[in-house]
Amino acid sequence: MAAESPIAITRLTWLRLIGELRRRGGGRRESGAFLVGRKGDAGRRVTRFICYDDLDPRALESGIVTLHGSGMSALWDLCRKDALTVLADVHTHPDADTRQSDIDQQYAMVPVVGHVAMIVPHFGYTPRWSMSGVGIHVFGGGGLWTPYRGGAAGAPAKLVAW
């Protein structure tokens, strides 16, 4: 089976996403979102993001991301209604370490082989116009993940002009 094309995220969408993650985390707690869009002949293209706490108001209460079942149900309902697909998830970490924590590894937000999870350092206080420093991880099943660095050749997500 051929590798999928990288997930395309417009620079404007990335700018808005990083701004929202910063705002929602307030420099003191993790925040996150799902990147949704379409998957087709032209590849995988993000059309918008949906913040975890919009799906589940309690998602950020503990300081780390904890999305409850009602939030996941709301996500799937929204995707079904708008004919969208979850392309990736993204959340922040407090420091420069964008490796997955044990919890991140064990509990994939979308436990489907090939799912992409991104980790943004410093609660989102990072360059808004690049993916430099972002950890990108592809789920391989059974708790196994393949890590990439944002902006690196072969990374499964990239920024595009439009």
For residue 115, being part of any structural domain is answered with yes
> For position 82, which CATH number holds?
3.40.140.10
For residue 23, being part of any structural domain is answered with yes
pLDDT tens for the 162 residues of the chain, in order: 346 899 999 999 999 999 999 999 999 999 999 999 998 877 899 999 999 999 999 999 888 888 999 999 999 999 999 999 999 999 999 999 999 999 999 989 999 999 999 999 999 998 888 999 999 999 999 989 999 999 998 999 999 998
Total domains, the chain = 1
Q: Which residues of 5-34 are buried (b: 16+ CB within 10 A; e: fewer)?
A: ebbbbeeebbeebbebbbebbeeebbbbbb
Report residue 85 as tokens: 């697909």
Domain containing residue 20: 7-150
